[in-house]
Structure 1
Amino acid sequence: MQASLPDQILSTALLGVFLAPILADNSISEQNKGNVGGDSHQTVSIDRQSQTVNVDNNNGWHSWNTIFDYGKGYIATRHFASKKCIISKIDPHIMPDVTTLPQVIKEKQKNHAREPPSKQITYMVSHKRITNLAPYGKGIEAMCKGIPAYAAYEVRRPSFYYYSGSCFNAGILWIVGINYCGETVEA
Structure 2
Amino acid sequence: MKALILLAAILGVSFADDNIRISNQGNDGGSVHQTVNINNQDRIANVNQYNGWNSWNSVWDYERGLFATRLVSKRYCVVSRMNRNVMPSLEQLSRATQGAQEPQAPTKSLTYTISQTRVKNVAQYGDHIEALCKGVPTFFAQEMQGGAGGMFFALQGCTNLGILRFLGISLCGNVGC
Do both share a fold (TM > 0.5)? Answer: yes
Structure 2: gaps spanning 5 or more residues: 1-14
How is 1:27-176 mapped onto 2 (pairs within 5 angstroms)? 27-36=19-28, 38-104=30-96, 106-108=99-101, 111=103, 118-157=107-146, 160-161=149-150, 162-163=152-153, 164-176=155-167
Question: Aligned pair in 2 of structure 1 residues 80, 158: CA closer, same or farther (>3 Å)?
Answer: closer
Say which structure is richer in helix: 1
How far the C-alpha of 1:107 sits from its partner, in A, is 3.4
1:26 pairs with 2:18 = yes
Contact 2:47 2:59 in 1 (8 A): yes
Question: Aligned pair in 2 of structure 1 residues 185, 100: CA closer, same or farther (>3 Å)?
Answer: farther
* CA distance in 2 between partners of 1:24 and 1:77 (Å): 24
Task: Give aligned-pair identity as a percent.
Answer: 38
Say which structure is richer in strand: 2
Q: TM-score, normalised by structure 2?
A: 0.82
Structure 1: gaps spanning 5 or more residues: 1-22
Give the aligned residue type for 1:89: R
Q: TM-score, normalised by structure 1?
A: 0.77
Contact 1:84 1:185 in 2 (8 A): no
How far the C-alpha of 1:48 sits from its partner, in A, is 1.1
